[in-house]
Amino acid sequence: MHADSASFKDWTAVVFVSKMATSGEAPESWYLALLGFAEHFRTSSPPKIRLCVHCLQAVFQFKPPQRVEARTHLQLGSVLYHHTKNTELARSHLEKAIPQFEDVKFEAASLLSELYCQQNLVDSAKPLLRKAIQISQQTPYWHCRLLFQLAQLHTLEKDLVSACDLLGVGAEYARVVGSEYTRALFLLSKGMLLLMERKLGEVHPLLTLCGTIVENWQGNPIQKESLRVFFLVLQVTHYLDAGQVKSVKPCLKQLQQCIQTISTLHDDEILPSNPADLFHWLPKEHMCVLVYLVTVMHSMQAGYLEKAQKYTDKALMQLEKLKMLDSSPILSTFQVILLEHIIMCRLVTGHKATALQEISQVCQLCAQSPRLFTNHASQLHTLLGLYCISVNCMDNAEAQFTAALRLTTHQELWAFIVTNLASVYIREGNRHQELYSLLERINPDHNFPVSSHCLRAAAFYIRGLLSFFQGRYNEAKRFLRETLKMSNAEDLNRLTACSLVLLGHIFYVLGNHRESNNMVVPAMQLASKIPDMSVQLWSSALLKDLNKACGNTIDAHEAAQMHQNFSQQLLQDHIAACSLPEHNLISWTDGPPPVGQFQAQNGPTTSLASLL
């Protein structure tokens, strides 16, 4: 009854103000009253959008001045776009606001172009933004905002050249109007796109310029620190893309210190004197999650998987809190990238069932957003391929990696997929033509297709693995020593552990037990530190055989017990994973993610031979 009474009062107030509008009251009084009520209803909890719209529509009843009419069309368009599904009516109001006054037309153009994009009318959005950019040069805030918006639109369309051109225009405009802060934002955004395009020759001088601008700019402390975070995130991701896990540490430490500084600063409510400075790169809370994310990426590459788990847990907890209040698409992107990395960690640490459930979670997030799925479909199939390897479903692994290759144009991801697909062909042992075709494309000795130190080291390892299976042990040792040299140079712990245990296996086969022991013992220590369950299983089996061959009965028994324990853990996890209904995802290779279509199986259907 109380709620009904409140609604009646709200409606009565609207009707009363509407009558004022037609009874000759001073325009300012009823207009301000209608706006006040509209805003009250919009910000109510929950929002009362129908009453808000009614208040704004009431403005048109008395033939208001043109400026008021234009502003009301904009407000109605905005409310309908953000709070209802009536996009056609929203579009109609925004289109009526466009030809009007400057303080209205730029905001209306910005909002209308968003609406066009939502309706897949990108070809209508672009000329609208271009025209608004042409006529907004005397309005610095809107000129910069519209340039950012059109650049973002080109980026979403993968037209990075046009996007970079616009950001360059924005940087020069910001310099002319005296906004070094926004100039830095434009240049850092351009640097981000150049990194995506792998135009490293242009990136380095641009980042050097940005570093100078950021250090010299004296302004709002939070804005200055946010520029530093943006700058350092680009540097860190550049190192990580290059697989330089050790070299990145000083930058990563600076970034972590920077985000700690930001978290202690209070938001300054004083608006900048230059309207071109009215921009923020990301909210503080989003930056915090981003720093967690790049820390997870570093920990994953370096093989510090417990650290990766710790920071993933922190980041996901923060994301859950943020998503209760914020529907920004970037939060779902952060969540998917975090899950992608932690899934790889789970597969290494022997938690396949958990990894599979998290793959299903990524499917659900991607099903909610076509754009998210488009950007992450290849990664999703790659993760399923890695899961298939872990449960010895090699045919499915091949199908998943083939699907992933079809869906990516990203060079580093392509090389990662090809490397793993080559490992599948090596294990199958009967795909020689396909294998050699792949290996020619990722030859670490000649024209390796990407600059990643980590991926090139992995390519040497794959060559060593193939040579081992072919019995060409001297050649295998050469490749594996190259892997060791590269992985030690950049602290790539997993590659180091894998190379050591494979070298140990080679020396064991050759009868050099002492040298084999010198390889296997540190491999086991490193694998325990990571922890890498497969390498621990392999190392313990070798230690058992080594100690047995050397007559060390007690050590052999201890190694056999370790091997039994690892085998049991992996076997139990294997059965748990294959028993999950989500295991059927391994058959999905085309189309959107099959959310909610899983059927439970009676039990595992895969061979356990690779584990025992």
Supply the DSSP symbol for 273: S
Structure tokens that stand for 135 in this block: 């006529």
In which residue are the tokens 């058959």 written? 587
* The amino acid at 404: A
Q: pLDDT value at position 485? A: 96
Note the pLDDT of residue 87.
Answer: 80
Alpha-carbon gap, residue 48 to 486, rounded angstroms:
62
Kindly provide the b/e burial profile for residues 319-342, where b requires at least 16 CB atoms within 10 angstroms of the residue's own CB. beebeeeeeeeebbbbbbbbbbbb
Token reading at 562: 């370790």
From its phi and psi, is residue 115 left (phi > 0), alpha (psi between -120 and 50) or beta? Answer: alpha
CA pair distance 510, 51, nearest whole angstrom: 84
As a residue count, the chain comes to 612
Map residue 484 onto helix, strand or coil.
helix
39, 67 contact by CB (below 8 A) = no
Specify the amino acid at residue 210. C
List the chain residues with pLDDT less than 70: 1-32, 37, 62, 100-103, 267-270, 596-612
Q: Is 483 helix (H, G, I), strand (E, B) or coil?
A: helix
The pLDDT score that the predictor gives to residue 22 is 46
The residue assigned the tokens 């910005």 is 110
Nearest Cα neighbor of 412 from 277, 270, 241, 528 is 241
The secondary structure of 567-600, three-state, reads HHHHHHHHHHHHHCHHHHHHHCCCCCCCCCCCCC
**Shortest CA distance to 117 belongs to which of 141, 147, 152?**
152
pLDDT per residue as tens digits for the range 213-257:
999 998 888 889 999 999 999 999 988 888 889 999 999 999 999
Contact 483, 472 (CB under 8 A): no
Radius of gyration of the chain (CA): 30
